[in-house]
Structure 1
Amino acid sequence: MAYSAESLTLAAKGDTFYLIWAAVLVFFMQCGFAMVEAGTVRAKNTKNILIKNMLDACIGAIIWFLVGFGVAYGGDNVFIGTSTDTYALHISDWRSTYASEGYDWASWFFQFTFAATAATIVSGGVAERCALFAYLVYSVVLTGFVYPVVVHMIWDSAGLISAFNSGSPLLGGVIDFAGSGVVHMTGGIAALAGAAMLGPRIGRFDAEGKPTSMPGHSSVLQILGVFILWLGWYGFNGGSTLSVFALDTAYSRDLARVCVTTTLGAASAALTSIALVHFTSHVWDVSAVGNGVLAGLVSITAGCVVVDPWAAIVIGGLGGLIMQGFSKLLLKLKVDDPLDAFAVHGGCGAWGLIAVGIFCRPEYSYNGLGSHGFIYPGGKPDLLGVQIAALAIIVAWVGTTSTLTFAGLRLLGLLRVPADVEEVGMDVSKHGGDAYDLVTTKPLTA
């Protein structure tokens, strides 16, 4: 069907607004992460975790503009972006020939919010003992190089394992719609590398190696943060359609389905998470619900557009159990991850990729060869192998680069704060005082 120029222009303007709206929701997730992390650490480190969240967004914006977006998108190299237009993004939108209606600017903004999310995940794994300078150095490396390479390989049309690359050597390419692997595994693996290199917080394990309790100071902040993250995830997953006004497409249908599967995945994981914790400890643990919601959201992110609602419930439910399992495993290994960043984002991100290979409906698949989940009959049920191969590539790349970065900082003596600073708390030592004024003032007398 032929459309008028006015219709096409209106659709283009609508898509620009849509992508900016989705990006704003995703950026608001930074507030959710800040609240979850602030509530989960001890009160003496509240300012420290908040300033890390603020600065990785600020530094990330500059680095993503100068380098990261260019590494992620453009050119014909399978590993890294090579288009000079996307480094230090410059668009001649003042020319009469410009016809993008701002969508190119909006794309940068949308992708920046994803990069900021990946960087923020790391702060949870290294909380309460990582030096601020070291954290900011790592944020630069992650936003400028580590994360963008993963983006290019999976989401760019020239990427090595991209489903949008018609010449992908990986059997039609991996399906990771909104980033269970690209964003969350990347952040989770980096958080694990940082936590392992830093070592546990002072007092986290007793003389016999058993974990001791170090509860966060505010369940209120934790759960309000989770609700904000859940809200932002509708921009994260839904916005990944990248368009909703484009004519002769099913993007609006896909957006609506994504919102349903995202909701069901989060709810299901929360229920299995709290059920497991109550079964083993006889406590109705509010943190188990909060982390369960996040586990379900991460688990459904890769396949939210290619699975049925019943499958979303299964994926989320198993994600809640997987998160709890990885949390317990790290404690057994004496790795101190204060926010379960690896369990939630790394473990469930990996599960999200695998789940696509099981539950991807053939009619929804966008793998280049039409591969789909193996539970469905028909040809080309080889998608699971593709998903696992992509998982291995992400683990190898992010694990190696993150470990080298944190190891280098440790070797230089820059990674961890001194023991006396850690004991008294970084708010007093580094940030001018406690986050809360808890001194009771005397009432005025006549």
Structure 2
Amino acid sequence: MTSRAVEDLLRTLAPQVLGVLVRRHGNFAACEDAVQEALLAAATRWPTQGVPEQPRGWLLTVAGRRLTDEWRSERARREREVAVALREPAYAGVAPPADDEPSTGDDSLTLLFLCCHPALPRSAQVALTLRAVGGLTTAQIAQAHLVPEATMSQRIRRAKQRIEAAGARFALPTPAERDGRLRAVLQVLYLIFNEGHTASSGGDLHRVELTGEAIRLARQLRRLLPDHGEVAGLLALMLLTDAHRAARTGPNGELVPLAEQDRSRWDRLAVDEGVALVTEALTWSPPGPYQLQAAIAAVHAEARSAAETDWRQIVALYRVLAAVAPGPMVALNQAVAVAMVDGPRAGLALLAPLDADERVTGHHRLAAVRAHLLELAGEPAAAREAYRLAARRTTSRPEQRYLELRAARLGDRRRPGPTG
């Protein structure tokens, strides 16, 4: 099995193994550390030695042995009774080393709510979810957040300590607790999906393992809360956005903007499911930000070509979204839609206030949208500089290449569209 296949398998197994150990022992921090060591051992050995017949049982055994060793060491340091340690079997804390025990089901959703505990700041919730539920290494999470690995390791360690100090239980929260935590869960899932849809750094535009995991967890959440409009809206938004994936890159991995995509390559099953979800949810649920974003994505998806896009409907939806959930990224996207209806100058006017908003003023997306609108407005020199500025600001190599290409091609008659 290739290293990539092993990595995918381990990412799937990680929350399952962690769920079994935490359910048994309750010590989330120690169990999570043990699972990470088991994953590292598997990633090192399996590509060359082969995947064991029962990979989940193998990980349980190795992680359980790590827990046993750690707890024995603690007992020794604290001078606990030696007799207790001597009576423990070699695989204490783990069922027989195979998958003989009845499956406890998928604990990913329980882990997700635990990682989104209100005692944690949002950055720690995202990092811990990516590691415990998404199966990413600390190094991968650090790269995605553009921070040193040591910094991310410390952030994750503090997050686990806070969860332990808060006395969190390994169980789905009660309805009262769940309602208070749901907003964080939805936002974390959305952030994970976005990181997979357009990786913040590296040579690949997509990280399918992240989008796939976010969609899988959103489906589980919808099964748990079938009558929650925003849960349905988030799942619809993910499906409609991910439906473009095959058309978003060219033969050499280059980014293809929304207006230039071959729509026959869009995943029509995902489009149909997403449109049905958001249409049905909006009939009985007050429109929230995820439903409104999904409705906008549905308008794009239902247009047979870029030229047939109902931009007036999109502008109207953005107006509602800006009232429900105002923010710089909403304003940025609204400016693009307004430009398509009222002309690029109108869009540029909406961008002007964002220059003073520290949340987005240094973001490459602001420079990229301004470049696009300046080009449409017939200002090639200013557009070229804005494209170059955006290219310098992004850490995604596919986006960087695309923006540099746009700057170099301003002499062409073709006009690029917004990325999607």
Higher relative contact order (CA 8 A, sep 6+): 1
Q: TM-score, normalized by length of structure 1?
A: 0.28
Q: Which has the higher helix share?
A: 2
Q: TM-score, normalized by length of structure 2?
A: 0.29
